[in-house]
Structure formats: C-alpha cells, structure tokens
Amino acid sequence: MTSEIGMEDYAGFLPLARREAVMPPASEWWPWRKHRIHLLRLRDASAPVRLLVVHGAGAHASALWPVASLLAGRGFDLAAVDLPLYGRTVTTSRGTVTYQDWVDLLVDLIAAEDDGRPLILLGASIGGLLTVEAGASSHRVAAVVATCLLDPRKRSARSAMTRFHSLALVFMPLLKLVRGPIARIPIKVSWIADLRNMGRDPGLGRLCAKDSRGGGAWVPLGFLASYMQHPHSNARMAHSPVHLIHPELDEWTPVTLSEDTLETLHGPTSVQLLRGCGHFPLEEPGLADLLGGIEKVAADAVPGVEAMPS
C-alpha cells in the first residue's frame, strides 16, 4: 500500500535552513453546501492581518503549508483552504463540481470569517486569478498576492498549461459540448496539467503527480471545461490591489502570460520576480522575496505595521 503524501514530503523541497521553521497547523472543517471544507490554520488573535492561502490545480493546502507557515510569528493569522475535489475536503457529489463552485466557496468563506481585520488572499498557480475573482466579488479583501495570473480563455495560456501545448488548442472548441453524463467523466489532473514543470527539481513534479489529493486527483471533465471557459469578468473589475509575485524561472507558465492578464485589471497592480524560483516557489533567494513581498503588502494594508527581515 502506498503511504499517504503529507506536508512533510513537500517541506523536504525547502532549503534545509527553512525546514526547521515550518510550523504544524491545526485542521478544521467548515460545512458549505454539500461539502465539508477542510482548512489548515495557525491562529493569532493579536495579528493585525489575516492571510488566506488558495492552491491551484496541482496542489492543496498541505502542499502549500510549508511555505505559508514561514510567515508564523510575523503578524499574520494564517489559514489555507482545500477547494472541493482537492485535499481533505469531503464532497458528496464530485461529478457536479464546477469552477464557479470554487469562486462561490471563497466568497462565502471570506464573508463568514470576516472579523474586521484586513484580509490578504495568496493565490498560487491558477489560484491566482481565482483569488482576484473572489476578492472582487466579496468586497472584503484588502489585497491579493498571486504567483500566477493565467487566463484560461487565452490561446497562449491554454497552450502553456497543458501537457499537449499547442495541440490542445485543436480540442478546445469541444469543451462547449461537455454537459450531462459526459461532464461527470473523471479525468486525472496529471494527464492534462504539465506537472513536469511544477518546480526546478523534477522530483517535485513527480511528487505532485502521484499525490492523490493534489496533482494526482481525479476531477470531472465538467470541472475542467468550466474552468477553461470561465470569463473571469468580475476579476477585470477588481478595485483591490493585485500584486503579481511571479517565479523568475517558471518554465510552466512564463511571467509574460501573467503580465498580460495583469494589464487588463482596473485596480492598482504591481509586479515582482522571485529570483531563482520555479513555478512552485521553494528556492532561495526567491523564497525570501516571496515572504518579504507578502509582508510589504500587509504593511501597506495596515498603517503602522512594518515588514520584518526575511
């Protein structure tokens, strides 16, 4: 029997000096519609800022937690969510989940947990534009930090995100036909997503691909079709600041694709490159850039709070 992949497996790709600083989280479940949403937390009632971490298509909350937890003790109340179909979230009808459910979940979660403190959303991979969309719909978000802003409706983005690259474009018109029983057909994420380029270390891509709660998960074809066709029209109207903090050496989704999306947003924006990092930013000095960048966003959101050295 294959042992379950846990956050310690992902923490093993951090620089050695960082691994000792990873803080274990508490697990909680939140009932939402027909789901039991799993959340990881490191609560700090005295923290002036809350941070909600949102994964993409090849990961989940536990995969991102080793990086997120490095912000413990730096003025953040931390949480990471497992979106339906991923992680430990329990879903009674997996075949009916759509990308709009992800947006609605985040909007409702943001509203349910609003305690008056500024909230920053950290979106990784396709979670980047997702958090912009949810933040624009909720009106309760101080800022969004995204490692990627891939727009699935653009041909260049569709070519980059799949294993089949430009050949995938031939099949895109067929997505409009995905409905009814066809929409429930399960597809393995690693068959579609180019997880080989998840990080600079090839082992990270292999880990994600065999992780049944992440890149190795089975998702309904209807979910993939709904994501690829989602217009993200609300994201275009976002007024909260959006900070693109993109890995410099991302061989999966080049920064130019995200910058193209950033230019279509109406609110304040900024761009920072994470030096020496691949798509999943785990390497130094870019990891320090990421932590410092998030702290700077928090400092801007809360007057009087200063970023700490990374």
Residue 243 lies in a domain: yes
Residue 203 lies in a domain: yes
Q: What's the pLDDT at 4?
A: 86
Domain span holding position 223: 7-301
Mind listing the pLDDT tens digit for each residue in 176-185? 767 888 899 9
- For the entire predicted model, the pTM comes to 0.94
What does the alpha-carbon distance between residue 26 and residue 34 come to, in Å, rounded to a whole number?
23
Provide φ and ψ at 188, rounded to 5°: -80, 130
Residue 271 lies in a domain: yes
Q: What is the DSSP string of 163-194?
A: TTGGGGGGTGGGGGG--GGGGG-EEEHHHHB-
The torsion defined by the Cα of 284, 20, 76 and 125, in degrees rounded to 10, comes to 50
Residue 309 lies in a domain: no
Residue 310 lies in a domain: no
Q: What's the pLDDT at 161?
A: 84
Provide φ and ψ at 143, rounded to 5°: -165, 160
The percent helix, strand, coil of the chain (3-state, each to 5) is 40, 20, 40
226-230 mean pLDDT: 93
Residue 2 lies in a domain: no
Mind listing the pLDDT tens digit for each residue in 106-126? 999 999 999 999 999 999 999
Residue 287 belongs to domain with CATH number: 3.40.50.1820
Residue 65 lies in a domain: yes
Total tally of structural domains belonging to the chain:
1
The dihedral region occupied by 140, where left means phi > 0, alpha psi between -120 and 50, and beta the remainder, is alpha
CA 247 to chain centre: 14
